[in-house]
């Protein structure tokens, strides 16, 4: 039986979604003097239960209606008798600034309309004649924007009250009541005379004891840290591993942090602040901060140098951006907006999987699951599989692309485990016969991870797969992706072409998205408008507006892409092209002066062209818009600590084909050491195949010539194939022949 009581007692903190979202209904007002347009608008949204649609035949009528009712969105015609749309929307802006205002107009060059856009009276305009899908998408996006603006306002209010606190903080006399001097004295590290001098100094200088000590150089910093670590109960933490929540750093001014050598790190739940301190013996300082912030303070001991460099990074960067910051918060879709579910795994939950398994007490389902997630996060796993077998449940993690058995759990745990996951992802616990999917954001002490949950019923019970997306995963530099020198050169040329489409292809999990983000990041400049459309968002990029595809509410790739094109983008990243509609819009965008990046499922760079034609694109469109294709696979890298040369079994060489079957290749392997967990591998590396659409290739594609013909041309241009790139990477000791076989399979076609 499922133990629901245990589940209900969950210590997990869940953020409640904002009120605006739970209300769920939006009131929209259409204003037009043409009755048939009003009727058409009503019809379009009739099936959308989220919207309440009202109509008004004139500006005056609209204003009258708005005085009695709150509207989230007004969509108005411009040319109307009496009050024109521009004037109506300007009045609405003044009276109801929260309402989003959209103009329907027949003429985008109309000066009055453009003026209204510039003055902020009109949020965006839709050109007549409009089509249904565009209108739907524009409305959905506008309301999303509405939520963001509301959220941002709440944030601004909070910041306002925080700035009062900041003033109080600035007035706070510098705390100089640390016990550090005495502590060091008791360890024989400071003399009586030095203590006395220290006391005089801190009276006069009003600087923290620790700072004075470091200035004098009486005791080395590392020794002070060691003494503090021994003598205080405060846990010590390596700061570089911790990420700092920018919302939280605004709680305490940078100058104060610098003087007192503290740094706010993040919130633990709603009322407790995790604070890095260099001198935890200064209890008064912590008390003062508690009083002023109104929050419980959970101090952790951090090295002085770590605090200082982090302060410089956090506050330095923030100050540089100050003027534009408000704008950025409004404009870029916050990743949180669409992520109402948040689960926090607390720092002090002592839940390592190993410890849990060794413990004599039976772990609770919550402990077990938290431990599993933490374990997966710590090993950089990309997926967790919970697979029920006949008598046992196996939990496996995909690490570096390979599934590894983690633990086996007795079957009687399984129902409770699945229920716990369903509760976290807000899925239906009672539903056990249909597939379900959901998402959760997990805050662990190490990092924030977005998880996509998928549950399918199997004959042995429900199988759960959780995909982990590291929200702060660093975007790799292009040079770090493992391109061969020749390919890297070609890629750099490719990226510098200002228009056209670049495709990354390969199976799921071959690192396509990672490559595209690196390409994007490589050329990023503030002079261009970047938009990414993804499902899900895998990398967060400050400079780009990132939109998440939500097919359940009709916001799919093609719809967002069309709406995006009206927002004057320069560079667009489309998560995936999977249908003709998306392909057509993407290629059209590439032909009209945009740089487009996307992915496609295709076996090789050459197959990609054929695949695009299969989808239904015309050869001349493909040949003129496509600039290059990167096909890739991920293989595990040989561990650098334990690499040795090796022999490879003749059978394997035979299977890998003639390229491998020569005496010119050296082979290596990892023997297995502590660093690589005895696996012989550490990290991953891509093997690539690049196709650049040179004049010659372009001409062949335009004529609809066969893949074989294009392959001949590519050979002439010396584009190495996947296998050729793989051979080079085996020979240089980066990966093994086994890995190539695992990923590319047998090369013998008989």
Please identify, using beta-carbon distances, which residue of 57 and 673 lies nearer to Zn ion: 673
Cα separation, 501 vs 351, whole angstroms = 47
Q: Min. distance of Cβ 639 from Zn ion in angstroms?
A: 3
Please identify, using beta-carbon distances, which residue of 642 and 693 lies nearer to Zn ion: 642
Please identify, using beta-carbon distances, which residue of 46 and 675 lies nearer to Zn ion: 675
Which residues are CB-contacts of 629 (< 8 A; sequence separation ≥ 6)? Answer: 502, 503, 504, 505, 605, 608, 609, 690, 691
Cα separation, 517 vs 502, whole angstroms = 12
CA distances from 604 to 295, 395, 590, 692 (A): 56, 33, 22, 13
Please identify, using beta-carbon distances, which residue of 531 and 638 lies nearer to Zn ion: 638
Half-sphere exposure of 604 (CA within 13 A, CB side): 16
Please identify, using beta-carbon distances, which residue of 194 and 671 lies nearer to Zn ion: 671
Cα separation, 339 vs 17, whole angstroms = 9
Q: Min. distance of Cβ 679 from Zn ion in angstroms?
A: 7
Residue number, nearest CB to Zn ion: 639
Q: Min. distance of Cβ 682 from Zn ion in angstroms?
A: 6
Q: Min. distance of Cβ 735 from Zn ion in angstroms?
A: 14
Q: Min. distance of Cβ 719 from Zn ion in angstroms?
A: 34
Whether the bond between 491 and the residue before it is cis, its omega within 30 degrees of 0, is no
Please identify, using beta-carbon distances, which residue of 586 and 639 lies nearer to Zn ion: 639
What does the H/E/C string look like for 92-133? HHHHCCCCEEEEEECCCCCHHHHHHHHHCCCCEEEECCCCHH
Please identify, using beta-carbon distances, which residue of 421 and 642 lies nearer to Zn ion: 642
Concatenating the DSSP letter of every residue in 621-657 gives HHHHHEEEEEEEEEEEEEPTTSEEEE---HHHHHHH-
CA distances from 154 to 55, 167, 327, 641, 745 (A): 30, 20, 15, 51, 55
Please identify, using beta-carbon distances, which residue of 548 and 636 lies nearer to Zn ion: 636
Cα separation, 70 vs 76, whole angstroms = 16
Q: Min. distance of Cβ 661 from Zn ion in angstroms?
A: 28
Q: Min. distance of Cβ 674 from Zn ion in angstroms?
A: 7
Q: Is 394 helix (H, G, I), strand (E, B) or coil?
A: strand
Q: Min. distance of Cβ 736 from Zn ion in angstroms?
A: 13
Residues that bind Zn ion (CB under 5 A): 639, 641-642, 670, 673, 675-676
Cα separation, 654 vs 662, whole angstroms = 10
Instruction: Report the length, in residues, of the chain.
Output: 750
Q: Which of 712, 708, 717 shows the shortest CA–CA distance to 690?
A: 717
Concatenating the DSSP letter of every residue in 177-201 gives --SHHHHHHHTTSS-HHHHHHHHHH
Please identify, using beta-carbon distances, which residue of 153 and 675 lies nearer to Zn ion: 675
Q: Min. distance of Cβ 516 from Zn ion in angstroms?
A: 31
């Amino acid at each position: 039986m499922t133990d629901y009581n245990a589940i209900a007692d969950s210590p997990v903190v869940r953020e409640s979604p904002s009120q605006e979202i739970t209300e769920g209904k939006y009131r929209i007002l259409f204003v037009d003097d043409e009755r048939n347009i009003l009727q058409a608008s009503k019809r379009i949204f009739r099936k959308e239960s989220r919207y309440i649609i009202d109509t008004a035949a004139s500006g005056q009528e609209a204003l009258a209606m708005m005085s009695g009712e709150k509207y989230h969105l007004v969509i108005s015609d411009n040319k109307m008798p009496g009050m024109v749309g521009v004037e109506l929307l300007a009045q609405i802006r003044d009276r109801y600034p929260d309402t989003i205002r959209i103009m329907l107009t027949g003429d985008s060059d109309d000066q009055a309309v453009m003026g209204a856009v510039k003055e902020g009276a009109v949020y965006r305009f839709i050109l007549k004649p409009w089509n249904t899908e565009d209108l739907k998408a524009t409305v959905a996006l506008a309301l999303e924007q509405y939520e963001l603006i509301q959220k941002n306002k709440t944030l601004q209010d909070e910041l306002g009250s925080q700035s009062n606190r900041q003033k109080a903080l600035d007035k706070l006399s510098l705390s100089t009541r640390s016990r550090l001097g005495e502590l060091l004295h008791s360890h024989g590290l400071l003399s009586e005379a030095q203590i006395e001098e220290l006391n005089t100094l801190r009276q006069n200088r009003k600087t923290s004891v620790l700072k004075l000590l470091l200035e004098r150089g009486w005791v080395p910093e590392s020794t002070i840290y060691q003494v503090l670590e021994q003598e205080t109960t405060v846990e010590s933490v390596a700061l570089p591993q911790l990420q700092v929540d920018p919302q939280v750093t605004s709680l305490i001014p940078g100058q104060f942090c610098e003087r007192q050598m503290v740094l706010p790190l993040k919130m633990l739940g709603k009322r407790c602040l995790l604070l890095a301190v260099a001198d935890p013996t200064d209890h008064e300082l912590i008390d003062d901060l508690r009083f002023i912030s109104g929050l419980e303070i959970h101090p952790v001991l951090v090295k002085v140098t770590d605090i200082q460099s982090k302060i410089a990074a956090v506050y330095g960067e923030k100050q540089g951006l100050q003027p534009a910051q408000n704008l950025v918060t409004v404009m870029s879709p916050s990743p949180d907006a669409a992520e109402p579910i948040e689960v926090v795994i607390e720092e002090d939950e002592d839940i390592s999987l190993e410890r849990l398994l060794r413990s004599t007490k039976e772990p609770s389902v919550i402990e077990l699951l938290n431990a599993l997630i933490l374990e997966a996060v710590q090993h950089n796993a990309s997926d967790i599989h919970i697979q029920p077998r006949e008598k046992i449940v196996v939990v496996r993690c995909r690490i570096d692309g390979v599934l590894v058995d983690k633990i086996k759990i007795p079957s009687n745990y399984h129902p409770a485990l699945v229920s716990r996951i369903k509760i976290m992802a807000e899925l239906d616990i009672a539903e056990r016969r249909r597939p379900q999917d959901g998402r959760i954001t997990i805050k662990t002490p190490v990092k924030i991870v977005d998880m996509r949950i998928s549950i399918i019923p199997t004959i042995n019970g429900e199988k759960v797969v959780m995909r982990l997306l590291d929200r702060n995963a660093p975007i790799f530099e292009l040079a770090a992706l493992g391109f061969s020198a020749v390919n890297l050169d070609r890629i750099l040329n490719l990226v510098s072409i200002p228009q056209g489409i670049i495709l990354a292809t390969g199976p799921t999990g071959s690192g396509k998205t990672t490559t595209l983000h690196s390409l994007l990041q490589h050329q990023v400049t503030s002079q261009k408008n970047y938009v990414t459309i993804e499902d899900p968002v895998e990398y967060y990029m400050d400079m780009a507006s990132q939109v998440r595809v939500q097919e359940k509410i009709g916001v799919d790739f093609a719809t967002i892409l069309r709406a995006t094109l009206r927002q004057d983008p320069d560079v667009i990243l489309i998560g995936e092209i999977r249908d003709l509609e998306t392909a057509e819009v993407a290629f059209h965008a590439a032909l009209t002066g945009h740089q487009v990046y996307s992915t496609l499922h295709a076996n090789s760079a050459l197959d990609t062209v054929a695949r695009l034609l299969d989808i239904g694109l015309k050869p001349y469109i493909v040949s003129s818009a496509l600039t290059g294709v990167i096909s890739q696979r991920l293989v595990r890298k040989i561990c650098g600590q334990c690499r040795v040369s090796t022999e490879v079994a003749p059978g394997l060489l035979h299977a890998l084909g003639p390229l491998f079957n020569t005496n010119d290749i050296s082979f290596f392997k990892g023997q297995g050491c502590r660093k690589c967990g005895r696996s012989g591998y550490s990290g991953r590396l891509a093997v690539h195949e690049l196709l650049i659409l040179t004049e010659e290739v372009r001409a062949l594609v335009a004529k609809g010539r066969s893949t074989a013909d294009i392959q001949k041309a590519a050979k002439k241009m010396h584009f190495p194939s996947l296998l050729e790139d793989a051979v080079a990477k085996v020979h240089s000791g980066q990966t093994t022949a086994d890995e190539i076989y695992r990923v590319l399979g047998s090369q013998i076609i008989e």
